Amino acid sequence: MLVLFVLEAKLRGSTKQFALIDEMIRTAGFVRNSCLRYWMDNRGVGQYDLSALCAVLAKEYEWAKKLNSQARQASAERAWQSIKRFYDNCKNPTIKKKGYPRFKKSRSVEYKTTGYKLSEDRQSITFTDGFKAGSFRMMGAFDLNYYQPEQIKRVRVVRRADGYYTQFCIAHDRLEKVEPTEQVIALDVGLMHFYTDNRGNKVENPRHLRKSEKALKRLQRRVSRKVKGSNKRKKAINKLGRKHLKVSRQRKDFAVKLARCVVKSNDLVVFEKLIVRNMVKNRRLAKSISDAAWRQFFEWLEYYGQVFGKIVIAVPPQYTSTECSSCHRIVKKSLSERTHACECGCILDRDENASRNLLAKGLEYLSRGGHSRIKDTALAGSPTLASVWYAQGHLNLCSISESLLNKFGG
Ligand SMILES: [Zn+2]
């Protein structure tokens, strides 16, 4: 089983070098936005037209030419991804918000297999395209030694609140043999507990998330008190950004460990698909933090499902909390009612009842369609490069902080 995953290292270099990286990032953003503009202005533009546009841009603008040609292509591909997402959403009547592609300020630049070089010891990276950013020492790149250069499919440079990072997207043949456990599990997520399984076991919400939530609120208030455009405000925004980074790293750590444990100790894992619509609607910070934590947890469940050769299914949410898991009557309850009590005599913890329903649904899916059908219904299905960046590259987490920063950065 070929698995894609992301290794990350912090870059060490001079201020001058980082200014050049900023230019690289700006140029990548320029290419992406130009592609978008071209698509908006011309009917029926496809992926190949955008790819061809890259060469035109390079001819027209001296500085666009400086960016490695494959990196230009990667930027065009990113533009196409958001266009394609929009087209796909338009075809799906259940999605109300179609997400028309928008111009974005870029925070990263992506290389494919050229435009950079790794040192012999693989602890430094040199960017070899026209920007001549030079060599950077990489902090925490130790793991890179385990992989061959041809396993590196993409390299991305990301700007964050606390510095610049490289991410390596690595393809690795990874299937760890584990003995069947003969156990199945279904997970119901909720705001009271991180999840409740079908046996009534509960995993608490990680305390650091709650604590961080308070700290984030405090930092946000601090930003909004400062005068717009002032240096103090800039500093406060940076502090807020750093806190978001810290939270996202803690969250990732929690998700990885928990997901690995759950998949390893069960042969079948069922969870409820998170509906993006509902998530966007809820602007409350507490909720958005939990959503991001679950989303990441689910993505790691699917990843480990592939690594360990286990079945991981996301089922669409329908009546899972109201239906009686024993007789299938609908038993309505308010959000504050924590117990499911049915006329049939079934009395269960509310979330335990829900996760039992999830398990039944998961088994129904399996019996109806086998594994091939499941792929379509799962959260991510087989991983594509984009979804791997998305899942493992902190992107979904940073998007929260980005939108917040945009709000405050004005
Ligand atoms: Zn019942």
Each residue's pLDDT, cut to its tens digit, for the chain (410 residues) gives 667 778 888 999 999 999 999 999 999 999 999 999 999 999 889 999 999 999 999 999 998 999 999 999 999 999 998 999 899 889 888 778 888 999 988 899 999 999 999 998 888 999 999 999 999 999 887 678 878 888 888 899 999 988 999 998 888 776 777 788 888 999 998 777 889 999 999 998 877 777 887 888 899 899 989 988 899 999 999 898 888 888 888 888 888 899 999 999 999 999 988 765 444 444 555 566 667 788 889 888 988 888 888 888 888 777 788 899 999 999 998 878 889 999 999 999 999 999 999 999 888 888 775 444 333 333 333 344 444 444 444 333 333 333 333 433 32
Ligand 1 centroid–CA 313 distance in Å is: 25
Cα–chain center distance at 339: 34
Distance, in Å, from the CA atom of 278 to the CA atom of 284, rounded to the nearest integer, reads 12
Ligand 1 centroid–CA 324 distance in Å is: 5
Ligand 1 centroid–CA 316 distance in Å is: 22
Ligand 1 centroid–CA 272 distance in Å is: 21
User: What residues contact 225, with CB distance under 8 A and at least 6 apart?
Assistant: none
Which residues have beta carbons under 5 A from ligand 1 (an ion)?
Answer: 324, 326-327, 329, 342, 344, 346
Ligand 1 centroid–CA 337 distance in Å is: 16
Ligand 1 centroid–CA 331 distance in Å is: 8
Give pTM, 2 decimals.
0.65
